[in-house]
Structure 1
Amino acid sequence: MKEFLAIFITIIATNRITEKVYEMMKVDYSLFEDPFILKWFLMDICLFFIIAFLIYSLLKFLIEKASARFS
């Protein structure tokens, strides 16, 4: 249950953070003929996994600390 909760929150938070990063970068996909070129796809994947790993690690740590404190 703890793992599921951490993964669920990680996915939601990572999607929102990734959207905010692209808003700050002002990425305009209309500048490219093909919006799904490999460079942008790899950047999407790398950014998503870096943010997801950090959020997941933090959530897992916090959930373990909280469960140890309340058990």
Structure 2
Amino acid sequence: MNAYDIAREERIEALSRLLSSAHEAGDREEMRRIYEEFRAAVLARSPEQMALLEHQMFVRIAEADHGR
């Protein structure tokens, strides 16, 4: 991943935490606002980012299946 991809993933993680906090506080308007930012950041992932995330997911699935 390049520096932009890393920064985007850090932003996605930060937005996820903010979304959880807004949910816990019951602030629906803030949840909507943050979700739109979160969604845009996720949809802006590069093809390389998506390929890496998919690979990591497949590895986790394989490890979980192997551990059964």
Higher relative contact order (CA 8 A, sep 6+): 1
Question: TM (normalized to structure 1)?
Answer: 0.33
Question: TM (normalized to structure 2)?
Answer: 0.34
| Higher Rg of the two aligned structures | 1
